[in-house]
Structure 1
Amino acid sequence: MFKSALIISLFLVAVVRAADESQSQTTKYLNEIKPDGTYSWEFGTSNGIDAQESGLGGVQAAGSVKYTAPDGSPIQLEYTADENGYRPIGAHLPTPPPIPDYILKALAYIESHPFKRIQLKN
């Protein structure tokens, strides 16, 4: 009985300790800024967070981050940010529902029947 209580107690301590991320440490840190405005950084932590980014300051950036979500699922996000906006990619991100058939048919009709512009005289 004492042995099972000890094993259960040790298991609970290990679980609580694993959930406490305030004790995590930085295991990797790189940061480089070049005179031409390009940069890159990378870091990792003992609790499994890894991130990196490179780009041209204020113009474009590309990077990724991965970690484990509180529910235990792995999260991996890749992103690009430039003149076309911020574009994240990840299996965990929500996706829009498919476009209904009647909308697709309406768009095809509109495309095949272009609107003729009317020039008004001043």
Structure 2
Amino acid sequence: MCVVFCDIFAQHLQPVHAAVKPLDPAAYTIYYKNQAPNESGDFHYEFQTSNGITTKAAGNEFGHSGVVQYISAEGIPITMTYVADADGYHPTGDHIPKLPEQVLTTLMQHKPQQRTVEKKTNAKTIVRNIPTSSKK
């Protein structure tokens, strides 16, 4: 039965051809500014190209943040902002898939407890469970 259904279904499928913008080999830099890190590690840079790419970033030894904008191959404007610091790399943008709220809730409810070693002796190790909390 599946063979018949799959065959009928397959006959109605149409190939999908996304309109893809080719690379622009003639693209050039419109502007470029770069403040190299100073004595305290502060830096800043930005640039823009003729094919729609723009980026800006600033930071120091403790981390940095920035924004990147471009037009995807399908012609969709993409804007991504990010923060990179001691807690990791955190990009945000409408094009980045997001977990549904129900999945996030379930994950937080079933998050394994962090285990830490309290006391270690030759005979045994005593371990205590510490509930973890989200920073957000």
**Is TM more than 0.5 here?**
yes
Amino acid at match of 1:43: F
C-alpha distance 82-20 of structure 1, shift in aligned 2 (>3 A): closer
What is the aligned counterpart of 1:49 among 38, 49, 53? 53
2:65 maps to which residue? 62
C-alpha distance 52-103 of structure 1, shift in aligned 2 (>3 A): closer
Unpaired runs of 5+ residues, structure 2, are 1-20, 110-125, 127-136
How far 1:36 sits from its partner (Å)?
Answer: 1.5
Q: State, as a whole percentage, how many aligned pairs show the same letter.
A: 33
Helix, strand or coil at the partner of 2:101: coil
1:12 maps to which residue? none
C-alpha distance 92-36 of structure 1, shift in aligned 2 (>3 A): same
Helix, strand or coil at the partner of 1:21: coil
What is the aligned counterpart of 2:90 among 81, 87, 95? 87
Q: In the alignment, does 2:79 pair up with 1:76?
A: yes
Helix, strand or coil at the partner of 1:72: coil
TM-score (normalised: structure 2) = 0.58
How far 1:22 sits from its partner (Å)?
Answer: 1.5
How far 1:19 sits from its partner (Å)?
Answer: 3.2
- Aligned counterparts of 2:49 and 2:106: Cα–Cα separation in 1: 47
- Aligned counterparts of 2:100 and 2:63: Cα–Cα separation in 1: 30
Q: What does residue range 10-29 of structure 1 map to in structure 2 within 5 Å? A: 19-29=22-32
- Aligned counterparts of 2:23 and 2:85: Cα–Cα separation in 1: 36
Amino acid at match of 2:98: T
The count of corresponding residues between Structure 1 and Structure 2 is 89
- Aligned counterparts of 1:26 and 1:53: Cα–Cα separation in 2: 17
Q: Which runs of 4+ in 1 moved over 3 A?
A: none
Give the structure with the higher percent helix: 1
2:35 maps to which residue? 32
Structural RMSD (CA): 2.6
- Aligned counterparts of 1:83 and 1:35: Cα–Cα separation in 2: 20
How far 1:103 sits from its partner (Å)?
Answer: 4.1
How far 1:98 sits from its partner (Å)?
Answer: 2.6
